[in-house]
Amino acid sequence: MNRGIIVVSIKDISVRCGVSVATVSKALNDHSDIAQITKENIRRTAREMGYFPNSSARALKTNRTYNLGVLFVDEAQSGLTHEYFARVLENFKVEAERNGYDITFISKNTRSKMSYYEHSKYRGVDGVVIACIDFNNPDVIELIHGELPVVTIDHVFDNRTAIISDNVKGMRDLITYIYEMGHRRIAFIYGDESSVTQNRVGSYYKTLGELGISVPDTYVKKGIYHDTETTARLTRELLNLDDRPTCIIFPDDFSCIGGMNAIKEYGLRIPDDISIAGYDGILLSQVLEPKLTTLQQDTVALGRSAAEKLIALIENPKANVIERVVVEGKVLKGNSVKNLNIK
Amino acid sequence: MNRGIIVVSIKDISVRCGVSVATVSKALNDHSDIAQITKENIRRTAREMGYFPNSSARALKTNRTYNLGVLFVDEAQSGLTHEYFARVLENFKVEAERNGYDITFISKNTRSKMSYYEHSKYRGVDGVVIACIDFNNPDVIELIHGELPVVTIDHVFDNRTAIISDNVKGMRDLITYIYEMGHRRIAFIYGDESSVTQNRVGSYYKTLGELGISVPDTYVKKGIYHDTETTARLTRELLNLDDRPTCIIFPDDFSCIGGMNAIKEYGLRIPDDISIAGYDGILLSQVLEPKLTTLQQDTVALGRSAAEKLIALIENPKANVIERVVVEGKVLKGNSVKNLNIK
DNA sequence: ATAATCACAGAAAACGATTAAGTAATAATT
DNA sequence: AATTATTACTTAATCGTTTTCTGTGATTAT
């Protein structure tokens, strides 16, 4: 039962100070009906005795755990391993902690058969952030329609606050830059099915359309995020085209590596013979040779505002405003896109 | 107070079933003094009513949260972003969840001024895993000497169970392989101060010594893990040596990129003109061109046994055996080390 | 001088679960 | 038939907090 861990409770303090537990509690929580001198005495004693509140007891009484659930995919190798999401999570965590919240992973616990929603209720998290997951999963839908505060990242549900990276503007900016560098034959290998992908693909067509460029179907290929092999294969297909593109945009920075390998193997140089661009702006992209031109997503803003909005939802339940926070990225101008204008 | 979340308690079930709460609790926990038929009735009702236990209440009473604290560095960009640690954590999480435990991040919460140990006690975690952090940090020391079950990863404290990747054998295997490929001039850029580094450096000297090779001081350079720039700079220094090494071992796979860039810039080809090797065996290493020869650490075994041992410590407190689990890695034979024996 | 107000603190219930101890009723043993 | 054992439950205390209500002496207002 008692696992040998010495733990001082409010009771111990009350005995030492000769007051009731109620007084101790109120002193510690700075209620107005306790004399200043009493408060100080109690607080000093608490500090001396090494008191820290018992979060379980507090949670039981107040129905607040100051714990946030995070739902990141746990299946495949994605999730934590994906630098983009790892950074978003990291920044989410920082902002949450700054506000006194801790982070607990929510998962479909295979042992207890709890769904995400059930798990969240079981742990009593005050709210949940969802990212990097199959948003069509019935378990996710259950959570979305449940009663807990929820914010989603990079996906929009109409009844929930969402933090989204501006993939439309991102793609537009990236393409505009490439266009300004003189490119007209711009191919795009995009990633798996998702709203993120839809936005990027849509923006790709729209932007090029506005620039007066029509895109041959052969220039647009469905790939897989983070998958170097698929990207390499599709890149080869593009290189074999009669009217080979002068620039290829890859699903993301990591998969770029597959594309780069395919290009080198083909005997072409980057960017002299062909230009490329990535997406995400992860650390890797900036250490590759040549340094990638890519769209850097603002993982700090994404993680931070997800935490901010979630906490706002929790602490101000009546407002309960559904918001859309759109976070802009920026073009990182590396050396992988050649300037065709110069001579 | 009630945040509008409908939550079914044991009380509700007891009313519906016409029994006492004690009976419900015992039925749900499969105690032997409840009739089979009663148990079934109660369990069915619980299921129908959508009951899930309140972990706070349970924790308060039992002093067990079924929550494990993880202490991964939160400062710099390392931690979650570091693929090696991300994978270890991922596997730790999987094994923990398989045993009904959840994961909570422990941090030095800046707001409440709690130390790691205090934070752990506050959240009532049943145990803590420590990795990827400055093990000399006083706060870590406090935790190590505290009363909570703790396991460390990649660092040994003499009073605690540790899970360690076998860096001595790893380095020996890697060097032996390189030696067998005909290399005799093998340089080593190592990472920051840590026991991991010490083991690798020690093993590097010892192995080469046993192979009858004496290492010039100029071949061994102190670098920084994960740092491509430093690695690039030190690589250049090695390339400028009169008796340039035929193979360079880098601190880790990621920093390899810096080395590779430096080598290419210098006008040499890998592996034709110079060979290289990495360490970690992360995904990246296997998609680079040439595919890296590297020592792959067994992140699955590391994460999993950390969880196993921590849970054993928790569930069997009297045994309380201090263990050393040594996890071996394996040489991934890529194409970055040339076979000098052929011709 | 009496009533009203105020400042401060205590008593006690409650949150949702677990569990030791107690109590009937029935079954087994002598 | 009387005693003991077994089965199946209930009672009530408890974990550490929070919070509402109550109480008391002192100060202020009338």
Cα angle: B2, vertex B6, B12; to 5 degrees: 100
Please check whether strand D approaches the CB of A51 to within 7 Å: yes
**Confidence band, pLDDT 50/70/90 cuts, at residue A323:** very high
Q: Phi and psi at residue A337, in whole multiples of 5°?
A: -115, 120
B18 lies in the same domain as B78? no
* pLDDT, average across residues B295-300: 97
In this complex, do B6 and A52 lie within 8 Å of one another by their Cβ atoms?
no
Element (H, E) at B258: helix B253-265
Those residues with Cβ within 8 angstroms of residue A228's Cβ, 6 or more apart along the chain or in another chain: A254, A255, A257, A258, A259, A261, B287
Residue A65 has pLDDT above 50, yes or no: yes
Q: How far is B124 from chain A (nearest CA, A)?
A: 7
Q: How many domains does chain A have?
A: 3
**Beta strands per DSSP E along chain B:** 67-72, 102-105, 127-131, 150-153, 161-165, 186-190, 220-222, 247-249, 275-280, 293-296, 324-327, 330-332
Strand D closer than 7 A to residue A94 Cβ: no
CA of A55 to C1' of C6 (A): 34
pLDDT at A73: 75
Residues of B in contact with A89 (CB under 8 A): 80
pLDDT band with cut points at 50, 70 and 90 for residue A3: very low
Q: Give mean pLDDT, residues B150-156.
A: 96
Cβ(B262)–Cβ(B306) below 8 Å? no
> If you compute the radius of gyration of chain A from its CA atoms, what whole number of angstroms results?
26
Among B75, B95, B109, B121, which would you mutate to test the A interface (most chain A Cβ atoms within 10 Å of its Cβ)? B121
- For residue B39, being part of any structural domain is answered with yes
Contact between the CB of A22 and strand D at under 7 Å: yes
Shared domain for B45 and B148, answered yes or no, is no
Identify the domain containing residue A218 by its residue range.
167-296
Cα separation, B244 vs B247, in Å, equals 9
**Across residues A174-189, what is the average pLDDT?**
98
Mean pLDDT of chain A: 93
> Is A79 in Cβ contact with B81 (below 8 Å)?
no
The pLDDT tens digits for B218-265 are 999 999 999 999 999 999 999 999 999 999 999 999 999 999 999 999
* Distance C2 C1' – A34 CA (angstroms): 29
Mean pLDDT of B76-92: 80
List the single residue in B56, B109, B114 with the smallest CB-CB distance to A60: B56
- pLDDT exceeds cutoff 50 at B2: no
In a domain, A237, yes or no: yes
Task: Report the alpha-carbon distance of residue A252 to residue A122 in Å, rounded.
Answer: 37
**So what's the pLDDT on residue B274?**
98
In a domain, B115, yes or no: yes
Q: Specify the pLDDT at position B319.
A: 80
Domain check: are B22 and B111 in the same one? no
The predicted-structure confidence for A106-155, as pLDDT tens digits, reads as follows 987 667 778 999 999 999 999 999 997 888 899 999 999 999 999 999 99
Residue B71 is assigned to a structural domain of this protein: yes
Same domain, B180 and B203: yes
Q: B124–A54: do the CB atoms touch at under 8 Å?
A: yes
Residue A338 located in a structural domain: no
Query: Cα–Cα distance between B322 and A93 in angstroms, integer?
Result: 32
Across the interface, of B4, B100, B103, the residue whose CB is closest to A105 is: B103
Q: Sorting pLDDT into bands at 50, 70 and 90, what band is A2? A: very low
Strands B330-332 and B293-296: antiparallel
The C-alpha of A116 sits at a distance from chain B's nearest C-alpha, in angstroms, of 12
Q: Nearest CB to B102: which of A7, A104, A260?
A: A104
Q: Where do runs of H (alpha helix) occur along chain A?
A: 10-17, 21-28, 36-49, 55-62, 83-98, 116-123, 138-144, 167-180, 195-210, 228-239, 253-265, 299-315
Of A7, A103, A109, the CB nearest to B104: A103
Here the CATH number for the domain that contains residue B128 is 3.40.50.2300
Peptide bond into B290 cis (omega under 30): yes
Check B111 against A104: CB less than 8 A apart: no
Residue B117 placed within a domain: yes
Interface test with A, best of B87, B97, B299 (most A CBs within 10 A): B97
A9 HSE (CA, 13 A, CB side): 11
Q: Pick from A66, A80, A280 the residue to mutate for testing the B interface (most B CBs within 10 Å).
A: A80
The Cα–Cα gap between A206 and B71 comes to 46
Closest to A122 (Cβ–Cβ): which among B52, B105, B228? Answer: B52
In angstroms, the separation between the Cα of residue A228 and the nearest Cα of chain B is: 7
Residues B173 and B284 in one domain: yes
- Would the CB atoms of A147 and B4 count as touching at under 8 Å? yes
Q: Do A77 and B7 touch (CB under 8 A)?
A: no
Let me know whether A161 and A308 are in one domain: yes
Structural element, H or E, at residue B62: helix B55-62
Over residues B11-63, the pLDDT tens digits come to 999 999 999 999 999 999 999 999 999 999 999 999 999 999 999 999 999 99
Asked whether residue B1 carries a pLDDT value surpassing 70, the answer given is no
Q: Assess whether pLDDT exceeds 80 at residue A320.
A: no
Residues A22 and A99 in one domain: no
Give the pTM.
0.93
Whether B156 and B258 share a structural domain: no
In a domain, residue B257? The reply is yes
Look at residues B290, B337, B343 and name the one whose alpha carbon lies nearest to residue B185. Answer: B337
Tell if the CB–CB gap between A5 and B90 is shorter than 8 Å.
no
The answer to whether residues A196 and A288 belong to one domain is yes
Q: What percent of chain B has pLDDT over 70?
A: 96
Note the CA–C1' distance, A113 to C19, in angstroms: 27
A216 and A179 belong to one structural domain? yes
User: A230 to chain B nearest CA, in Å?
Assistant: 12
Are the C-beta atoms of residues B234 and B223 closer than 8 Å to each other?
yes
pLDDT at B108 over 90: no
Distance from chain centroid for Cα A313: 18
In a domain, A116, yes or no: yes
Same domain, B40 and B137: no
Clarify whether residues B237 and B211 are in a common domain: yes
